[in-house]
Chains A and B, each alone.
Chain A
Amino acid sequence: MSARKKKLINQPENILQEMLEGVVAAYPDIIRLTDDGLIVRAEPKATGKVALVIGNGTGHEPAMIGLIGKGWFDVNIPGEIFAAPGPNRIVSGIKAAERGAGVLVCVSHHAGDLMNAEMALELCEMEGIDNVEMVVLYDDISSAPKGSEPERRGTAGLFFVWKMLGAYAEGDVTLAQCKTMAEKIRDNTRSLAVALTPGTNPVSGEIMFELADDEIEIGMGVHGEVGQGRRKMCSADDLIDIMLPPIINDLPFVEGDEVLVLINDSGSMTQMELFILFRRVAQILGERGITVYKTWIGAYATTQEMAGFALSLCRVDDELKTLWDAPAIGANVRIVQA
């Protein structure tokens, strides 16, 4: 394993706490940090509305601490670096989020996230806290074949769920309706990622995986989980020609569909590269008669300084388009267009 890349931290064991203190100090009007380490809205949602909660390993910023606020989620339970928070902490998050209409616990499908959320729901049941539901979300087509979608893992495409479910839960809707909406967005979303160079684990200082200088890996997970397709480095257009058709064919997205497109930077891509990549995405979608409704290009779910990106498509109808266009005010991720 190679040594640490240059990284500006203080003591490795203080990374999480210092990051949390920094983000709430930077955006005190949007979020605050509770004594038990939860990120909550500075101004809670009105009573009588469904609350949205998510726990996740940290290290993927701005996900999810940047996605707490009006139009996004209500409470984030940040775990250790790349490790889901434990069940007691998730229960604390559920209690902190409750606004009288139930709590939906969203789980980005990874073994640790799922096990801890399941245990948290068991603890809630033991404590007599009802009106809590869980929804498991996934989008990565490389992690399990078509037909085994529930075995797929959650990656950057879940951003579509965070945004549109967040908007939906600001309205007068029930817990059951929120869960159905989360599933609807999930079931219309497909993603595929590629890694060019690894990130480093900020605690251990080790690079997260080995990849030769002239190699890329298609299907890389958000924690450096090894994908299935190592191949030689290629041009931006060639890479999109490899990655986009399997995404389109998986749902499948067909002529006449309207889609949201996300190109998510894993941590150290340039805007220039991302736009060159999107240019080719737009060309292919155009050739196939698929209309791009809106695009979202930038770093939203990262893996430290990993170079690479995830390409995600979400098919939208009028209901979803309205939800996408609703304002969302998170710490450093904001959507204000009408």
Chain B
Amino acid sequence: MSITSDDLKGMIRAITAAIESEKDALNTLDAALGDGDHGTGISMGFASVVDATTEAENPSDVLRLAAMTLMNRMGGSSGALYGTLFLKAAMHIKDKARITPDDFVAMWQKGCEGVAQRGKSQLGDKTMLDALSPAVDTLAQQISTGIPFVNALNDAATAAEFGAESTEKMQAKHGRAKFVGERAIGHRDAGAQSIALMFRAISNYWKDK
């Protein structure tokens, strides 16, 4: 099987719809630890990505335009981190007309490394990485064992959801949430939650396809 630029655009539309419907919930999560605008920012960002990527022809262009749009439309740390995630992924699949599941795994791995570097963050720091990293690891592991792509994506989405939930027990090391100290415990990280929504939307796109 292969993944085309139309698939990537379809996934982006699915992510956009999922984020839009959870926008208020993301704002509420963010309000406990930050300034309460993560849902608004990311939904606005992805809505712009849909328009910006309409004309893109190859998969790398879809992701590169998504990255630039997220960085410049969202701004803030979320824009920089989501932008880096998509930009590193785009760089990895540069010039490929179609991408294989292995490429798909590797591009997320590059994206995940980029996010860790840009945010100078590690697992357990209560960031989006706590959902992203287990999702990407699960995806890589399941694809390598040869289970169907759609099942591997479902497992990755579940791993992201567990990862997002696990941030409730963590104290933040970065960003505005850091200043909450121990009071962060009990609250889920909004960035980790949006990553979980993203992987669930990607999984649903392939299930429905």
Contacts and interface: CB of A to CB of B under 8 A. Distances in A.
A and B form one complex: yes
Interface of A: 1, 13, 57, 79-89, 110-112, 115-116, 118-119, 142-143, 153, 201, 203-204, 206, 208-209, 219, 221, 223-228
A86 B83 contact: yes
Interface string B127-166: 0000000000000000000000000000000000000000
B31 A86 contact: no
A140 to B, nearest CB: 9
B187 to A, nearest CB: 11
B119 A115 contact: yes
B72 A57 contact: no
Given A110-B176, A112-B76, A201-B36, A1 B28 contact: yes
A115 B181 CA distance: 22
B72 A89 contact: yes
A225 B72 CA distance: 24
Given A115-B81, A209-B31, A84 B75 contact: yes
A215 B80 CA distance: 35
A11 B48 CA distance: 18
Contacts of B96: none
B94 interface: no
B74 A83 contact: yes
Nearest to B118: A115
B74 A80 contact: yes
Given A87-B72, A153-B179, 16 more contacts: A1-B31, A80-B41, A85-B72, A86-B79, A86-B83, A87-B83, A111-B119, A111-B176, A115-B80, A116-B75, A203-B40, A204-B27, A206-B27, A206-B36, A209-B31, A227-B179
A246 B36 CA distance: 30
A208 B183 CA distance: 16
Chain A binding site: helix, strand, loop or mixed by DSSP? loop
A143 B180 CA distance: 10
Given A79-B75, A85-B75, A110-B176, A204 B36 contact: yes
Given A111-B174, A204-B36, A206-B36, A225 B76 contact: no
Given A57-B76, A112-B75, A83 B28 contact: no
A223 B38 CA distance: 13
B122 to A, nearest CB: 15
Interface in B37-85: 37, 39-41, 44, 68, 71-81, 83-84
B175 interface: yes
B176 A221 contact: yes
Contact of A86 (B71, B118, B179, B183): B71
30 contacts: A1-B31, A1-B36, A57-B76, A80-B74, A83-B75, A83-B76, A84-B79, A86-B73, A86-B75, A86-B83, A87-B71, A87-B80, A87-B83, A88-B68, A89-B75, A110-B176, A111-B119, A112-B76, A116-B71, A116-B76, A116-B79, A118-B118, A142-B179, A206-B27, A206-B36, A221-B176, A223-B34, A225-B34, A225-B180, A226-B33
A5 B28 CA distance: 17
A192 B36 CA distance: 23
